[in-house]
């Protein structure tokens, strides 16, 4: 189970499902999760996003502790679901039919 820093213990219920290391994993989770669960996740994490970013900023990336890295992955997942929650009200991009785009290269920090 992915653990988070103690200051973010209230987000721990979402950690196992949403602390995902790669964009394809986060996208797959977005598509597989019902919208009410996505909205609950977003509503819990979004108000804490600034504090989470400030927490992570205190560590140089190569030395980031595992629990802070898990928090970063949780933020990435929150970003992944932001458009579905705020704009589309569904997991998939509207009006795309069966079109898909796979990303094979991850950005570097």
**What is residue 107's DSSP assignment?**
P
pLDDT more than 70, % of the chain: 82
**Mean pLDDT value of segment 66-83:** 96
pTM: 0.83
Distance CA 69, CA 57 (A): 11
Closest to 43 measured CA to CA, from 5, 11, 8: 11
pLDDT more than 90, % of the chain: 72
Model confidence at 57: pLDDT above 90: yes
């Amino acid at each position: 189970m992915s653990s988070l820093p103690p200051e973010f213990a209230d987000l721990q219920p979402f950690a196992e499902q949403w602390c995902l290391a790669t964009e394809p994993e986060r996208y797959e989770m977005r598509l597989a999760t019902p919208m009410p669960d996505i909205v609950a996740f977003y509503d819990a994490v979004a108000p804490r996003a600034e504090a989470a970013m400030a927490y992570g900023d205190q560590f140089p990336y190569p030395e980031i502790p595992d629990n802070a890295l898990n928090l970063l992955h949780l933020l990435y997942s929150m970003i992944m679901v932001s458009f579905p929650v705020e704009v589309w009200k569904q997991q998939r991009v509207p009006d795309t039919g069966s079109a898909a785009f796979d990303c094979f290269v991850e950005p570097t920090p």
